[in-house]
Structure 1
């Protein structure tokens, strides 16, 4: 395997260039910047990978699997089967079941962590005023990118091979079995601690905001990792691990105190998803300002000819109407006949019923044609035409948001629920609904049960983080998957049946690999 590096011409280079001369590459003062740019690019390629022009695996794993958010109008690959918990078709397992691209990103991180400490200071001085600070910043990012990639791997597959060395002779490197997910999560925690020790809060310059990893990015990843570990280490139990819940709580408190992030003004809500807003913590750059927009983002699959003239009237993907009516609701009084068993008769009386809440800013900003059979999502609709005169070559100029402040703030309600602090959970959820102008009738009341509050929490996550790759994992953590994902029964859950199978083609490359436990004998 050759050493991978990226051009300086763009923040990310989709196809990093190759150098077969390791010693020559690392003798260049720009090597660190080039290598870490390649690391970001490889991660982006892994998350954006999918069937040609159809969908990105990041959203397939995090949103499509729940079968309550995304509808499939047409794509020819059977993506609707993902929402039914069926990952056995060749299309699915050979694409989304293949982890090769993730390991390319990990390999790059390992190379950087091996080589960067060895670069002589006099070489770095040719480009850097403070060589040691520069070295630490590059290595801190590499530790984070390796940790984030492993977090994706273990959430999707559970046990995965754990590779932390950069081998001089990769062809003869040892083949590794799948490591227990507990070991993988411990490695993620260790990498995050190392990254945090090397990185600073804030950014060297404004152009780095959110798209360059800093200490805030690390703490956001740690918070998610702690909650995932707290709730999935023992699939036979629904009781979170107290120590990890506490660690998530203290991690978030530090992030909120030191990070300098703030929720975006609701008047500029849509700018959050263009990128680099005040609440962006970590996002992958996809800006057309540097010609790095993409025509392969899942957001384009939700758009129709109102946004891209060459598209049809019906988009390939659509918002499930049931998602809108169940999440964005208000209570309205309505006269109905109601059966009263105690007097054995029908009574004409006023009752409260759910109606669609169209006042919530997230509803008004993100969805169009909501009364149609296939509503449109315009959360990612910053379309830039590279041939503007003829409105051809459309590219989305929307960064891929991975962590942002609102996500972290909402996690505080989940932590409060695990800690038995119902008033705090209600305060957090109601704070979001008030912030976005939702109907007052949707506000939670103090007499609600813990189960009801958890349901409202998961609905609030669904409103806030629609199509941001979190929602299925939220359902798994909170066990609300049993209420909203019919295919994920209690028995299948305890068998790890929400993890993906491994592409069988990978077994021919590594004789120590075994299939994901639930899928053995099924593929």
Structure 2
């Protein structure tokens, strides 16, 4: 869908929010009169709009498995099977050449699906703010909960886009005249992140803690706020908001229960996207997690259709992620037809929903976007940058001990690099490692990356992804390409 159309389509007919992403919402759109006149009439309809925003986020993230491509394939920790020939150039084997993505241009170079989420959130914020509190069953508090959830989702979406493509088009409100949307330049990162922080401070102030991890909560807002500050290298505020997030009562799962994390609503999860199987809902989708399944999970599934842990990555690991270590044995497994290859098993929870046909299955996991181990290691990074190396080491060792490893003693740059390496081991397959590399500026610190990220590439931000100018430029003449990809 074209950019100007994306910016206007939800303003014209907000029924889109109840559309393609989740079957259970398909029949909720109003009939008859113009949409805005009949929809924004009570809290129940605002709830429908909010559920639609979550559904749009789920669709945007899992489109063509872009979540795993942006965070894991691009970081060199995964290697795709032969069926995914068009992914090769995106990984280490292809030199991280993000400008060659045949049949993936729509998901990797085109950000329009994320503007659906943003405009959905803008609609909720604007219309709900104008509604009288009497229209909500629980009055002012309920009204603020919906506005806060929309502002959290808007902040998450903008922050995610910023980390993928660099500077974005900052759209803060819906367009009143969808036929005359002005061309606009990309906004500096500082402006985008300022809006994210403003949204998240409001959300953290007004959201409840909540028990369901797939909805925005006070703890999730504070954790995301800490991530935004860390991206800006403001590690004092990173520490501050991690402390606020941890008031949510999260706890690390024991290593024996480690895989509970990805089944959903674990005590370690802070924010996740619901994708678990249910007979009544349409949240689950096999063609997302199933790249991590082998014939051990699905009989007859060939190795060519599986994403393995990159053998060179495994060869570089010492005791932190090697055969015999508890974490390694818990979340990885050998290929049934080739024991030399390993696959991630975080997402191997299946539901065989037809007892008469074992070939019918659903991959039933939630996608965990923020969890406690991630935040503890982020705090280790903040402690290090704030001159508190003993506390940084303590946090690092907390995650190591849960993984079944011994405490280590490091200091200086070796400690900082080890925090990244531990993040890479702990969060493998969770869509975050490439963003860690960018934030921590470690492309020249490891041979895995320094051979491919030249001074020119780093200076011109070649760690961000190119935009599909052929599709986007005709809709916005002020749009510019990311510098490195103008000539590469």
Question: What TM-score, normalized to structure 2?
Answer: 0.89
Change (3 A) 1:17 1:58: farther
- The aligned runs of 1:408-427 (5 Å cut-off) are 408-427=375-394
Match of 1:488 in 2: 453
- The aligned runs of 1:84-483 (5 Å cut-off) are 84-89=95-100, 90-124=102-136, 128=137, 130-200=138-208, 202-203=209-210, 206=211, 209-230=212-233, 244-256=234-246, 258-289=247-278, 291-329=281-319, 357-369=322-334, 372-438=339-405, 440=406, 443-445=407-409, 448-482=410-444, 483=446
Match of 2:3 in 1: none
Looking at secondary structure, tell me which structure has more helix per residue. 2
Change (3 A) 1:291 1:374: farther
**Could you tell which deviates more after superposition, 474-483 or 400-409?**
474-483
Equivalent pair of 1:273/1:399 in contact (CA under 8 Å): yes
Choose from 34, 40, 46 the match for 1:32.
46
Match of 1:497 in 2: 462
Equivalent pair of 1:288/1:397 in contact (CA under 8 Å): yes
Number of residue pairs aligned between Structure 1 and Structure 2? 462
Equivalent pair of 2:24/2:281 in contact (CA under 8 Å): no
CA distance in 2, matches of 1:16, 1:459: 48
Higher Rg of the two aligned structures: 1
Equivalent pair of 2:269/2:370 in contact (CA under 8 Å): yes
**Could you tell which deviates more after superposition, 512-521 or 292-301?**
292-301
CA distance in 2, matches of 1:312, 1:400: 24
Equivalent pair of 1:93/1:501 in contact (CA under 8 Å): no
Choose from 4, 11, 20 the match for 2:15.
4
2:58 matches 1:44: yes
CA distance in 2, matches of 1:415, 1:249: 6
Match of 1:508 in 2: 474
- Extract unaligned runs of 5+ from structure 2: 1-8
Change (3 A) 1:326 1:77: closer
RMSD of aligned residue pairs (Cα, Å): 2.3
> In structure 2, the residue corresponding to 1:170 is in which secondary structure?
coil
Change (3 A) 1:155 1:433: same
Looking at secondary structure, tell me which structure has more strand per residue. 1
- Extract unaligned runs of 5+ from structure 1: 51-55, 231-243, 331-355
Match of 1:71 in 2: 79
Equivalent pair of 1:318/1:377 in contact (CA under 8 Å): yes
CA distance in 2, matches of 1:518, 1:28: 49
> In structure 2, the residue corresponding to 1:508 is in which secondary structure?
helix
Change (3 A) 1:162 1:313: closer
Question: What TM-score, normalized to structure 1?
Answer: 0.83
CA distance in 1, matches of 2:28, 2:182: 26
Change (3 A) 1:477 1:313: closer
